[in-house]
Structure 1
Amino acid sequence: MRQAEAPPSGKWTGPAHAGVKAPEPIVLPDPARRFAATAQRLEQLAEGHPMAAWLRFLGRLARAQHEAATTLAPGAALDPAAIAQAIDARIPPLAADGHRRDASWREGLARLLERIDRDALPDAALQVIEQLQRSDAAAQDRLADRFLRGGLAADDAGAAIYVAAALQVYFTCAAARLQAEDLRLLEERGLCPCCGSPPVAGVVTAGGTTPGMRYLHCSLCSTAWNHVRAVCITCGGTRHLALQAIDGDAGLVKAETCGECHTYAKLLYQIHDMQADPHADDLASFGLDILVAEAGFARHAQNPLLLL
C-alpha cells in the first residue's frame, strides 16, 4: 500500500472560467437510474475479479432492486409540514432511526425477493429468502428496525442483506420525492441531509460545471451532498490526513485516512473512470479496506451490503 506525501488541496485549482460554477450542495437520487447503474458496474467489475462470484451476486441483487424501484406504486405522501419542521430544526426529514416507514417498504422487499435471480445461489441463501418470504410484517419490521438502529445480531446477517437492499429502495424513492432546494446540509456534514445516514464513499468529480468537487453518497437513500476536500468527514480534522492506495492500481479508489481520529473514508476519482459508481466500486475495492484496517484505521461507516 502506498501513501501520499500530503493530502490534496481542499479547493479546485483548475482553470477559472464562466463554465465552472459553485457546486450544488445537495443532489437527490434518481431511482430509475441508481440501481441499474450499480448493477451494470458490478457486472463489469466482476470480470477477472478475485471475488467475482460475490460481485455477480450483488449485481443480481441490484437488478432486483431496480425492478422494485421502478415497478412499485409510490408510498404514502410525505407530510410537507413535518418535512419543513425537521429541516428548520436541522434534522434529516427522513431520519433513518425515527422516520415512520410506509408499508410499501415491505412490498419492495417482497418484490425484490421475487425478482432476484436464484440460479446461482447456494442452498443456505435460498433458505434465508424462503424464511423471509414466510415471515410476517411484524417480524420484517423488527429486523428493519434492528438494522437501522445498529442492533443486528449475528444470526440476522443472512436476512439483513435483503432487508438492507429493500430499505435502500424505499429510502431512495422517498428521497427522490423531496425538493433539493428545500433541504439544508447538517451541522455534522459527514451525514446525509435527507436521512442522516453515513456515506458509502465520496466521488471527486471530473466533468460538468463543478470539476474537482467531492460529493459524499448516502449508503441508504443514495442522496449526494457536497463536502469540502482535505477535511476528515468523521472528526473534521485537517492536520493528519493522508491518501492510501494499493500499489500498482489505477488510482481510481483511495482511502483518505485521518491520524487524529484513526478513521478512513473511500474516495473515487472520476478522472480515472467516468463510469465509477460509489456503491459498486466501494464493494469491489474491499481489498483496500483490509489493508487500511491492518494499518490501524477504522472505516467511517460500513457499507450496508458488507454485513455478510
Structure 2
Amino acid sequence: MRQAHELLNGKWIGNQYGGVTAPEALMLPDPATRFARTAARLDALSTGHPMARWLDFMARVARAQHAVASMMRLSGSLVRIEVEDGVELTPPIAANSYRRDPIWREGLALLLDGLDIGAAPTSVRMTIAALRDSSIDGQEALADDFLHGSMEPGDLGAAVFVAAALQVYFTHLAASLPAASLSLLPQRGLCPCCGCTPVCGVIAETGKVRGARYLHCSLCGTAWNHVRAVCITCSHSRWLALRAIEGLGGAARIETCDDCGTYAKMLYQAEDAGVDPVADDLATLGLDVLACQEGWSRHAPNPFLWSGQLSRPG
C-alpha cells in the first residue's frame, strides 16, 4: 500500500495556473475571405435545394461583393473608440450615425457593373438599371433608410444591392479597427463594432474553447462571444428552448424565447464544419417560416431576407 508521504514526490499535471480558458471576446472580419466563403457555401448548398435558383443568384451577389472587397481601399482616417471603465460607450462605427466615405458608392457602382445576373427576371434587371442611374442623394438616402430600418416597400428590391455594398464597406471599416482596444457592448446582442444585430449565431467546434457561441454581425461581419443558454434579445433564460424540424438533419437550429417571443438561428460546426452565417441562414428559410407560424418573431433580419430594422427590436 502506498503511503501518503510518497505522493508528495509527484508532479502536478495540467494547467499550473488553474482556471478555465476563456473564449476570445470578438473576432474582426477579413474582407479578403468573408464574401468568397459565403459564395462558395451558397454554391454548395444550392445543389438540389428547393430554392436553388435564388441561392445561386445570392452566390453571384457574394462573388460580386468579393470582387469589390478586393479592390476597395479606405482612407487612413482613425476611428475614435470611447471606453469608460473598460466598457465601450458606443460602437466605433455605429451604422446609423457613422459618417460614410463616398467610397461606398464607388463600391456599389462596381458591384452593379460586375454582377453576373444570369437568368434573373426583368424586374431585377430594371431595379439594377434604376439604381445605377440614381443620383448621389438618392443612393445616400437609400443607405440611410436601410441602416435606420425605414425602407419604403417600393425600395426593397434596391435595398438588396445597397445592403451588399454597405456590407463590403463596413467589413473593411471593422477590419481596420484595433481589436485590442475594442470591448463588448453592455447590450451583448449588438455588434461591438457597428451596433447592428447578428444574422445568426455559430456554436464553435474549433478555437480556444469548443462549444463557445459567437454571434455574427449582419452588416460588418464581426463575430463576438455571447454566453449560451441566455436569450440574445432579452437576456432571460427561463423559457429558452432549442428546436429543430423533426426528421430533418443539418447544422441549423432555432433558439426560441417565450419571455420575449423571439427566436434566433444557431449553426453548429460540430454538425457541419463548413457553415457560413449568411449562406446557411439563407438556405434554412424553412426554419424561419415554421418559427413564425408558431408565433415567434425573428430576433433580427438577414438583410437579404427582409430589409427591415437592423438594430435591436423594440
- TM-score greater than 0.5 by the shorter chain: yes
Q: SS state of the match for residue 141, structure 2?
A: helix
Q: SS state of the match for residue 81, structure 2?
A: helix
Offset at 1:177? 0.3
Work out whether residues 29 and 172 of structure 1, in 8 Å CA contact, stay in contact via their aligned partners in 2. Answer: yes
Structure with the bigger percentage of helix? 1
| Equivalent AA in structure 2 for residue 186 of structure 1 | L
Partner of 1:7: none
TM-score normalised per structure 1: 0.91
Partner of 2:279: 280
Partner of 1:33: 33
Partner of 1:116: 115
Gap runs ≥5 in structure 2 = 1-12, 308-314
Work out whether residues 36 and 63 of structure 1, in 8 Å CA contact, stay in contact via their aligned partners in 2. Answer: yes
Partner of 1:200: 199
Offset at 1:76? 2.6
Whole-Å separation in 2 of the counterparts to 1:281 and 1:174: 24
| Equivalent AA in structure 2 for residue 241 of structure 1 | L
| Equivalent AA in structure 1 for residue 59 of structure 2 | G
Whole-Å separation in 2 of the counterparts to 1:209 and 1:231: 21
| Equivalent AA in structure 2 for residue 27 of structure 1 | M
Offset at 1:17? 6.2
Gap runs ≥5 in structure 1 = 1-15
Offset at 1:303? 0.4
Q: Which string of whole-angstrom CA distances, capped at 9 and with x for unpartnered residues, describes residues 147-203 of structure 1?
A: 000110100011010000000000001100001111010000000000000000000
Check 1:289–1:105 CA distance in 2 against 1; reply closer, same or farther (3 A cut). same
| Equivalent AA in structure 2 for residue 65 of structure 1 | Q
Work out whether residues 41 and 280 of structure 1, in 8 Å CA contact, stay in contact via their aligned partners in 2. Answer: yes
Size of the aligned set, in residue pairs, is 290
Max Rg structure? 2
Work out whether residues 90 and 184 of structure 1, in 8 Å CA contact, stay in contact via their aligned partners in 2. Answer: no
Work out whether residues 160 and 307 of structure 1, in 8 Å CA contact, stay in contact via their aligned partners in 2. Answer: no
Check 1:118–1:210 CA distance in 2 against 1; reply closer, same or farther (3 A cut). same
| Equivalent AA in structure 2 for residue 143 of structure 1 | L
Q: SS state of the match for residue 137, structure 2?
A: helix
Partner of 1:11: none
Partner of 1:5: none
TM-score normalised per structure 2: 0.89
1:90 has 2:83 as partner: no
1:149 has 2:156 as partner: no
Work out whether residues 82 and 89 of structure 2, in 8 Å CA contact, stay in contact via their aligned partners in 1. Answer: no
Q: Which string of whole-angstrom CA distances, capped at 9 and with x for unpartnered residues, describes residues 102-129 of structure 1?
A: 0010011011101110221111111111
Check 1:240–1:69 CA distance in 2 against 1; reply closer, same or farther (3 A cut). same
Q: Which string of whole-angstrom CA distances, capped at 9 and with x for unpartnered residues, describes residues 263-307 of structure 1?
A: 000000000110000110001000000001111100000100113
Whole-Å separation in 2 of the counterparts to 1:17 and 1:275: 32
1:139 has 2:141 as partner: no
Check 1:213–1:136 CA distance in 2 against 1; reply closer, same or farther (3 A cut). same
Partner of 2:302: 303
Partner of 1:268: 267
Whole-Å separation in 1 of the counterparts to 2:250 and 2:92: 36
Fraction of identical pairs, as percent: 53
Q: Which has the higher contact order (CA 8 A, sep 6+)?
A: 1
Q: SS state of the match for residue 271, structure 1?
A: coil
Task: Describe how 1:51-70 pairs up with structure 2 within 5 A.
Answer: 51-70=51-70
